Amino acid sequence: MKLKRFSRLINPQSIALIVVLLVNWALFPGFFDVTWQDGRLFGSLIDVLNRGVPVAILAIGMSAVIATKGVDLSVGAVMAISGAVAATLVVDGYPAYVAVIAALAIGIVCGVWNGVLVAFLEIQPIVATLVLMVAGRGIAQLITAGSIVTFADPVLIYIGTGSFAGLPMPVVIAIVLLILSVFLVRSTAVGLFIESVGVNRAAASLAGIRSGLLLVAVYGFSGFCAAVSGLIVAGDIKGADANNAGLWLELDAILAVVIGGTSLLGGRFSIAMSVLGAIIIQAMNTGILVSGFPPEFNLVVKAGVIILIFTMQSPLATRFIEMRKTTRAVARKAS
Amino acid sequence: MKFLTKLAVAAGVAALLSSAAYADSLKGKTIGFSQIGSESGWRAAETSVTKQEAEKRGIKLKFADAQQKQENQIKAIRGFIAQGVDAILVAPVVSTGWDAVLGEAKDAKIPVILLDRGVDAPQDLYLTSVASDQVKEGKVAGDWLVKTVGDKKCNVVELQGTVGSTPAINRKKGFEEAIKGHDNIKIVRSQTGDFTRSKGKEVMEGFIKAEDGGKNICAMYAHNDDMAVGGIQAIKDAGLKPGKDILVVSVDAVPDIFKAMMAGESNATVELTPNMAGPAFDALDAYWTSKKQPEKFIITESKLYTPNDDPKKVYEEKKGLGY
Amino acid sequence: MVDTHSAAAAGDNPFVLEARGVIKIFGQSKALDGVNLGLRRGEVHALLGENGAGKSTLIKILTGAYQPDGGEVVLDGEPVRFSDPLHAQSHGIGTVYQEVNLLPNRSVAENLFLGRQQTRFGFVRKSLMEKNARELLSRYGLDIDVQAELGTYSVAVQQIVAIARAVELSGKVLVLDEPTASLDKYEVEKLFEVVTQLKQRGMAIVFITHFLDQVFAISDRVTILRNGRLIGTEPLAGLSRTDVVRMMLGKDITFAPAVTGIEERAAGPALVEFKACGKAGKIHPFSLKIRRGEVVGVAGLLGSGRTEMARIMFGADQCDAGEIRIGDKPVSLTSPVQAIAHGFGFCPEDRKIEGILGDLSVRENIVIALQGKLGWFKALNRDEQMEIAGKFAEDLDIRAASLDMPVKLLSGGNQQKVILARWLATDPSFLILDEPTRGIDVGAHAEIVRTINRLREEGLALLVISSELDEIVAYSSRIVVMRDREMVAELTGDNINPSVIVQAIAAQHETVAAEGASV
């Protein structure tokens, strides 16, 4: 059993992460150095985690959405809205808790809107969420009047830049959210229902799953995750940048989920693996920063690594590995 | 240093003086302004300043926001022509596809002035264009650094704009020209921060780790102020003092960088002036009063601001412009 | 008809396509173990075997979808290696699968000529293509609008379009993998006319089916597989049905004899009653009482409103008017969730589209309805799921290597049992089974019929829709007959026999053959 647990840790994703980290280390020998500074851990490794948080949190919600055979393109825009709402509220003198609750509530409302479009109006998810992807950034710009709303509220800033038990606050939030959502999904029937609806919504509905309600809940959760992410990003730069906050992050989140092994065709999903996917992406980004390569290489390097990961996950590769295993087993039997 | 400050003050005073005495040729004129949109704070400020400049001169400004679409701009320009405005200002969203509509304006004998960006059209279709010189902006920043560090060895990290964008290429080029021949100054790391605060912060974090906790870095040059603001936060998070341990120089002169300057966290910024309309109006005035054809390319001033320029006052001035 | 199966003696009619000692290994198990199959020009060759016998694997090897791990495929005397089905197709070997593999959202004509559209200057000649399509289909007795999307037609029409396409593309060998599973008798006859015509043109036709009477109606020779091994190839002329079944199963099977005295037992009050329920454009208002301990059989052709009735009964569709009572209380029934709460269960006709959750495990497929009933937060843990799934898998003899394997890898019969298990796990009082035995092997068929009888004895109310007349008369206490979206007859007592049912169905369809399938 223990061995089985251990062997589950050996998968293309963790191999990829280790390889990326080792390459980073080769390019920048100080990569694994972590020091204690001003009451918090400090080092490139911590940066990978901290900078990976926004996408990781988006990927938590996105995993569930993709598992239902959907996709949520609006998360980047929802991040911008959430940050804009929180920032304008604190600048207008509201207490931080009001701003945080309002931002999270707006995120859920955005998600529920997507969910209703998908579940009840039966609009294809990619189209339904495209609406808010485009309109959402406009809404955020309206809220901030097109400029970066800078704030000095200590609570919001703490969310983005504080530290707890030596770890950056965003990392702590992401870990808590990860544990909560894995718990929610796996110790209730929600995970099974999500996978059922993703595999075959018609069959799941006939088996008595309230698929419409489930979809609304899943998209709502994705909106909530986007709002959390938006708060962190705003807190990090002490301002809400409606033009740039979360820009294109929906694509990184989808990528993270796919790297994590969840199929875009819906069904089986793993939130933890999606988060791992987000960390792989960020490990590459941070690696490029510390390596000293000119920025023109960024996208090429990223694309190369991603192609490598997908090749490792492809059915062909899986079959090849299976074949090697079988041949080895047969050879062992023969000898 | 002192000389430069004097020059800057003189320029400021001159600007104040000139704005006090406007020629009458513009008074009561109707001028159409087709703006790209409000995609950035600078753009919003440009719109506000244009409106202010028009008001100061007694011009009736007709404003049209194109929301990033050329077709909207063409429609707006045709509308201006139909209304028989006296002149048209355009901040073109793209550089191609203007020949026809500019031709129509020319036939209607309405002078057109391009703001901020140029177009690929015959030069006789517009009166003049007003734009900043991005290479010069980088050069002014570089010159400041050369003067400030003197002969000391200085490792610079550069936060580039979006890869391949014109301002990123030009501001990099200008800065490199300025530090050329000063072997004590070297760009040790250069990465893109996409002109955004959060990417600027992330990139600077990486640089600090890669350069011995930031101890190897003497200055940070950012292609815009937003990235500089992000970078300043990263420097602070690493336990260093921006402005002292690491010099900070950037381009744009948006209000938030003056806040940082007030706190001693930024050392210099080069202004990309949002006042493109002022020189445009002046050119029109000259054209109408003395029939003088203006230069085809009017370059705006790339003014350097340092903590000696009363950042608090500049901040207050700029705050309300919509940056 | 050739009356021998030895290759040596068939010098004048050599094999067109031949499998020689083919071996195929999946993981640890041998799906095929040295199987031979020879196809001659102008013959219909039935390929029989229970699900899991290796029929599909053999076909996939012959048509290039799989590569053999041993043995060889020989085409016109030359060994060949097909890289994929397209490659096989280019050598004259076409396949039509049970589930139509065409594009439902393109027109019939486009589907027929997909990939070889007639073009002029690079433009598809649409009108010419449609004219050709009409001509082609008329040879198959189909007169339909070829511009309409294929998906708007019944499975039967789609099937014939698929056959027409395959024949056009190939021409030497045609593999029909359970082509009749979704067809009614009239359509089957049409299909057989087509097959006979193709045979006369000299094509070799491989015919896979579960309907023995169809095998005997049209085949010249039969090859029987069991557990991946070749049991034998025989001319059909010398075989009886019992011979074939024995070869397939390795044992004799019989259905339980028709039960007597059901009516008396089922005389109690109605468990559920539908009063004048109907839905415009789908089904005329119908009234039906179903009691505990009885099986109400529903007979009727495809499209007669059988499935529509079942969906209304399960709350998947709502009736426009009418009343539904449980016990003597009127209830609302607007969703499957409500129906399940009332103790209903529903095995839909189309297993793949509405039944199984293909990528999920057997275990999850079994517990899903029960978990749905329990709600989001009262989750069954893995051990509980295993226990429940294990119990029903054993009860229904579900043959899966593991309860954690994806259900899509099971054979059709086992998938059907999984869906049955899904509902039995919810401890239902009323089960609606829509074609529970369609397209499944003989063994699973018998198991499901046994289960229906057992459930009735345990006091469940059942409504079973089936096209297999001898089967439906064997277990039904009453039979309602559907025709043209209307309930036209309710048969009881001595009237429960195939010929009466056929008369009731055929009142306006003289062409329906009046014989019941028998195994």
Give me the pLDDT at residue A89, please: 97
Query: How many contacts does A have with B, using Cβ atoms within 8 A?
Result: 93
Give mean pLDDT, residues C451-464.
92
Q: Mind telling me how many Å the CA of A304 is from chain B's nearest CA?
A: 19
Residue type for B268, please? A
Question: Does the distance separating the beta carbons of C376 and A200 come in below 8 Å?
Answer: no
Using alpha carbons only, what angle is made at residue C311 by residues C310 and C316, rounded to the nearest 5 degrees?
Answer: 155
| C-alpha to C-alpha distance for A197 and A67, rounded to whole angstroms | 8
- Residue C261, pLDDT > 60, answer no
Give me the pLDDT at residue C421, please: 95
Chain A residues within 8 A of C27 when measuring between CB atoms: 322, 326
Using alpha carbons only, what angle is made at residue B243 by residues B242 and B247, rounded to the nearest 5 degrees?
Answer: 100
| C-alpha to C-alpha distance for C27 and B276, rounded to whole angstroms | 73
Query: Mind listing the pLDDT tens digit for each residue in C70-99?
Result: 999 999 989 998 888 888 888 888 888 766
pLDDT averaged over every residue in chain B: 89
User: What percent of chain C is modeled with pLDDT above 90?
Assistant: 31
The closest alpha carbon to A87, from A77, A96, A78, belongs to: A96
Matching CATH number, C254-343+428-513, of 3.30.2290.10, 3.40.50.620, 3.30.1330.100, 3.40.50.300:
3.40.50.300
| C-alpha to C-alpha distance for C434 and C314, rounded to whole angstroms | 11
The closest alpha carbon to B318, from B264, B269, B279, belongs to: B269
- Chain B residue with minimal CA distance to A145? B322
Question: Does the distance separating the beta carbons of C356 and A188 come in below 8 Å?
Answer: no
- Residue C514, pLDDT > 60, answer no
Question: Does the distance separating the beta carbons of C353 and A204 come in below 8 Å?
Answer: no
Give me the pLDDT at residue C260, please: 45
How sure is the predictor about C53, in pLDDT bands with cuts at 50, 70 and 90?
confident
Q: Which residues contact B165 (CB under 8 A, 6 or more apart)?
A: B195
Looking at beta carbons, which pairs linking B211-214 to residues 24 or more positions away fall under 8 Å? B211/B155, B211/B157, B212/A30, B213/B238, B214/B238, B214/B240, B214/B245, B214/B246
Give me the pLDDT at residue C121, please: 67
How sure is the predictor about C254, in pLDDT bands with cuts at 50, 70 and 90?
very low
Using alpha carbons only, what angle is made at residue A247 by residues A245 and A250, rounded to the nearest 5 degrees?
Answer: 115
Give me the pLDDT at residue C257, please: 42
**B48 in reach of chain A (CB within 8 A):** no
Question: Does the distance separating the beta carbons of C360 and A193 come in below 8 Å?
Answer: no
Interchain touch C–B (≥3 Cβ pairs closer than 8 Å): no
Residue type for A260, please? G
Kindly list the distances between the CA atom of residue C132 and the CA atoms of B322, C17, C108, C125, C409, in Å, as whole numbers in the listed order: 68, 30, 11, 11, 39
Query: Mind listing the pLDDT tens digit for each residue in A242-273?
Result: 989 999 999 999 999 999 989 888 999 999 99
| C-alpha to C-alpha distance for A250 and A133, rounded to whole angstroms | 9
Give me the pLDDT at residue C388, please: 95
User: What percent of chain B is modeled with pLDDT above 90?
Assistant: 73
Rg (CA), chain B: 21
CATH code at C1-92+174-179+211-252: 3.40.50.300
Residue from the list B192, B197, B209 with its beta carbon closest to the beta carbon of A241: B197
- Residue A5, pLDDT > 50, answer yes
Pairing of strands B247-252, B268-271: parallel
DSSP C164-213: HHHHHH--SEEEEESTTTT--HHHHHHHHHHHHHHHHTT-EEEEE-S-HH
**B322 in reach of chain A (CB within 8 A):** yes
Give me the pLDDT at residue C353, please: 87
ipTM reported for the complex, 2 dp: 0.87
What residues does each domain of chain C span?
1-92+174-179+211-252, 254-343+428-513, 352-427
- Residue B17, pLDDT > 60, answer no
Considering only residues A221 and C5, tell me which one the structure prediction assigns the higher pLDDT. A221
| C-alpha to C-alpha distance for B41 and B47, rounded to whole angstroms | 10
Where on the phi/psi map is residue B213: left (φ > 0), alpha (ψ -120 to 50), or beta?
left
Give me the pLDDT at residue C250, please: 60
What residues does each domain of chain A span?
41-292, 294-325
| C-alpha to C-alpha distance for C346 and C462, rounded to whole angstroms | 10
Lowest mean pLDDT among A219-233, B219-233, B273-287, C430-444: C430-444
| C-alpha to C-alpha distance for C303 and B143, rounded to whole angstroms | 85
The closest alpha carbon to C420, from C443, C403, C444, C441, belongs to: C444
Helices (H), B84-193: 99-107, 134-149, 166-179
Interface test with B, best of A290, A296, A299, A300 (most B CBs within 10 A): A290
Query: Mind listing the pLDDT tens digit for each residue in A18-47?
Result: 999 999 999 888 899 898 888 889 899 999
What 3-state DSSP class applies to C226?
strand
User: What percent of chain B is modeled with pLDDT above 70?
Assistant: 93
Domains and CATH numbers, chain B: 2-132+274-300 (3.40.50.2300), 134-271 (3.40.50.2300)
- Residue C500, pLDDT > 70, answer yes
Q: Which residues contact C274 (CB under 8 A, 6 or more apart)?
A: C286, C287, C288, C289, C312, C313, C322, C323, C324
Question: What class, spelled out in words, does domain A41-292 have in CATH?
Answer: mainly alpha
